[in-house]
Amino acid sequence: MPSDATISLERRRWFLGTAVGLRAETVDGVVIATRGRGLEAIVEVVSEGYVELPKPIAITLREHLQGEPVSPSERVELSRQIAELQTVVVERLLHEVDLDARQVAIGLSGPTAWRQMGETWGPETIGAPELVAEATGATVIDAFAERNVAAGGAGGPLEALPLWLLFSPPQWSSAGRPTIAVTFDETVDAYFIPPRRIGADIPPIFWSPVAPGRLLQDELQRTQPAAAGKSKFEAVLRAWREIESLYQPPIWRPDLFDLTPFVDAAAGRVDENQGESLLRRFWQDQVIHAIQADLPTSAAAQRLVLLGEPLGVEEIANAIRDRTELTVETATDIGWSPRIRGPVVAALLAYSALERFPADITTLTGSKAARVLGRITPGSPANWQYCLEQLATAPCGKMPLRNAV
């Protein structure tokens, strides 16, 4: 007799995602439901939630992510505290949606910083997935940064795959139009998301590094303002656009991207009350540049979605509407939280791991051993059995990620 957890194509499956960014302000969470299998699943955002990090934890975590060393015992304690907050978010969402923890899987993303390890760089994630799995009884999937397509500086970020699943519903028709998704976080990135056609392999998803985001905002706030009447607003914009590293990976790797040229160009040349306007102009100009110059066949796209909460996101959206023929939406327009990107990417990567989407090992990790898209920590026996049934019945089709992003 099949168990209650038997997977069918019509039954909805539930995935939770949590995320903590480099700014270490909140633990954000989301619940998604999927119907169908593999690349042909329908994805629905069901609920969202968050908790704020207590100030002492936030300060310690932010300093550590920005390079401040901590002792092994302090790191263990910090990981435990982060795991407790992730558990709070998960349990609140389980209660809100009335889900059985035996039939969900959790994706955890961040907080992650890149550290130099000898001559190479590698990701360091703070947290304790085993504590989340033990407390909730649900299987946890994490360590996505270690499997990133762009590890080693080649390719594009792995989040292109979840964004494709989220914004491109499966369809039999070939008449679908692409979507452009722009994410605002520590960095600003643009993704050209093609239609998802049933029975076809994943098509190329183009990624363009747009600009430094909140990292530049933080640095600008610490920069010496211009003397009264000495602002060089337009000159600073021109100088920023000519910085060569702006158009080269690894701009999405904030630990390796040098902000010094941006700071030097703005120091003493921008009025104290012009910083936000400068950033908005810069970001909207760079987004339009990416659409027009960096994203292949972007003229075919009709829709652009802005994910994140940059300064004046509505003003940025209006400027892009005025300068393009795209339908521009923000996360709020769709009915989502501005911070949805991190947790929904984590939830969809958890889905991808249980669907056994293969990771191209050389490109993703530099490893020679086969891996899936995440590290799995089993939950309760009943929940783990549920996840094993998904793994056992997954289509496990070929998906050439090497050529996808």
Give Dmax (Cα) for the chain.
80
- Higher-confidence residue of 284 and 120: namely 284
What distance in Å separates the CA atoms of residue 308 and residue 15, rounded to the nearest whole number? 21
- What six digits make up the tokens of 36? 């169908």
- Predicted local distance difference test score (pLDDT) of residue 96: 96
Percentage of the chain exceeding pLDDT 70:
84
Please provide the CATH number assigned to the domain covering 161-334.
Answer: 3.30.420
Q: Give per-residue pLDDT as tens, 190-248.
A: 998 888 888 877 777 788 888 888 888 888 888 877 777 677 888 888 999 888 878 76
Please provide the CATH number assigned to the domain covering 12-149+340-403.
Answer: 3.30.420.40
- What six digits make up the tokens of 269? 């040349």
Q: Classify residue 306 as exposed, middle or buried by CB count within 10 Å of its CB (0-12, 13-18, 19+).
A: buried
For strand 170-171 and strand 196-197, is the pairing parallel, antiparallel, or unpaired?
parallel
Q: Give per-residue pLDDT as tens, 109-145.
A: 988 877 766 766 667 788 999 999 999 999 999 988 7
Segment 301-328 shows an average pLDDT of 89
The boundaries of every CATH 3.30.420.40 domain in the chain are: 12-149+340-403
**Chain centroid, CA 351 distance in Å:** 15
- With 50 as the cut, is the pLDDT of residue 363 above it? no
Segment 345-350 shows an average pLDDT of 94
- Higher-confidence residue of 336 and 8: namely 336
Do the beta carbons of residue 398 and residue 358 sit within 8 Å?
yes
Q: Give per-residue pLDDT as tens, 168-182.
A: 899 887 777 889 999
